Chain A
Amino acid sequence: MALKTNAIRGVLLGLAMLGMLAAPASAQQKFITVASTTSTEQSGLFKHLLPVFEKKTGIQVRVVALGTGQALDMGRRGDADVVFVHDKVAEEKFVAEGFGVQRFEVMYNDFVLVGPKADPAKVAGGKDIVDAYKKIAAAGAPFVSRGDKSGTHAAELRLWKAAGVDPSGGKGGWYRETGSGMGPTLNTASGMNAYAFTDRGTWLSFKNRGDLVIVVEGDQRLFNQYGVMLVNPAKHAHVKKDQGQAFIDWVISPEGQKTIAGYKIGADQLFFPNAKR
């Protein structure tokens, strides 16, 4: 009996210690928190890029991957040190409001339009994305949008505007909003055999393609610029200014740029460095 009680006490004590372990495994290590987008995380770029930086500086980079809108919000709340996203208009607003110190351009990738092999809107092989959008709307062919205020969603909406189509008219019909990230949206498109607008990186690393293929690519208007910003320490005093800036400096340095260019899935290069320095 006494032995049993002791055993129970031992188990409880063990659990308590486990609980303490769960808390800060990090206190000793230098780290910064980067709010970024699902496209950079899920394409595998960070897995390629960050270890090089960490090895060089000893600074661990913790990436929280969200939509561009949410990532910028995270910066506004002071929950990130660095924001690394792709929506130039929103980024410039972020800096203008004083939440970001300065915006640096890092790289671009491109968007592609994917759709079913059967191609009901007859857009495959075209180079004009706006024209393709018009045809899809005219055919009422199913199109899945992220609808999550992300950078990709913003880019998609700009193109609809250019095509002179208000897709919200097709809501519930041919135009479907998933309200979720790129991957779930592609899963939906694959399940529905619908067209979808995606960044190339996520597409290349996406496995559940079903019948989907790239139907339109290469249009200038599909280029997708990434920018990086330090969250303003004047707004949030705890921001790790020096370490965050070190990360930014490295990403736009020749070494960082070369590392970005070196990331490939198969033979495809996903991101094209274009820092102005």
Chain B
Amino acid sequence: MIGDLPIYAMHCMTSLWEALAAAWGLIAGFDATLAQIVGLSLQVSLSAVLIAACIGLPLGAAIAVERFPGRQTLIVLLNALMGLPPVVVGLLVYLLLSRAGPLGSLGILFTPAAMVIAQTVLITPIIAALSRQTIEDAWREYDEQLRSLGARRLNAAMTLIWDTRFSLLTIVLAGFGRAAAEVGAVMIVGGNIDGVTRVMTTTIALETSKGDLPLALGLGIILIGLVLLLNMAAALIREAAQRRYG
């Protein structure tokens, strides 16, 4: 048995090299199908993160500056929702959008729109909960100054969103990372339809199930690379802005 191990390890090493080669091949070859899949991934996840930010940031800010009964419960709930399993979200959205479900008449199951909805549901709590924390910390610093200047809660919330924008950018990116990386929800509500709802993660799942592990891993490397690029860009913006705005 022990004698088998090095061979097994070598086999794994070979697979990794094959994966790197596959990733390089995919990028260098610039395959139209791959470009379409990557494009759809970005389109879906960026749309989802945009919508989630439009809901999550004001929501986080509102909870940060408002005092109302049940606030603490809401915060706990939001924090818990950050851990929502994508499959559960997928199922919920599937049941909602299914022809037999309450929103079935929209007929958007198995379309990119359905995937955007599922990812939005998945990451809105993340953006809301994390931005609530960030904005509340800032609120402690700004509270008296803003009230002294005559800002009402709504003004204050908007001001805080703007003033913590570099921290919020990181939060939004975390949301994007989660959206782009998840497979469970988009698989269920998108159906992984070739050319219509096939994104990077569902392709990876498909290639894995076809046993083409190097190709699957190669796609994974590209996905990580994309997310990495985006984060690097954000880090640069953040750093430059921090230097500029203090």
Contacts and interface: CB of A to CB of B under 8 A. Distances in A.
Contacts of B194: 46-47, 63
Q: Considering residues B40, B46, B47, B101, which has the most beta carbons from chain A within 10 angstroms of its beta carbon?
A: B47
A186 interface: yes
B116 A208 contact: no
B212 A78 contact: no
Contacts of A76: 100
Interface in A1-60: 12, 15-16, 18-19, 21-26, 33, 38, 42, 46-47
Contact of B210 (A22, A180, A206): A206
B83 interface: no
A183 B98 contact: no
Given A26-B111, A77-B100, A236-B99, A16 B50 contact: yes
Nearest to A237: B99
Contacts of A79: 98-100, 109-110
A62 B110 contact: yes
Interface string B34-58: 0000001001101100110000000
B209 A22 contact: no
Given A63-B194, A64-B110, A208-B211, A42 B206 contact: yes
Contacts of A183: 206, 208-211
Interface of B: 40, 43-44, 46-47, 50-51, 98-101, 104-105, 107-113, 116, 191-194, 196, 206, 208-213
Closest 10 CB pairs of A and B: A183-B209, A208-B211, A78-B99, A64-B191, A19-B47, A77-B100, A206-B211, A207-B211, A22-B43, A62-B193
Interface of A: 12, 15-16, 18-19, 21-26, 33, 38, 42, 46-47, 62-65, 76-79, 180-184, 186-187, 190, 202, 205-209, 236, 238
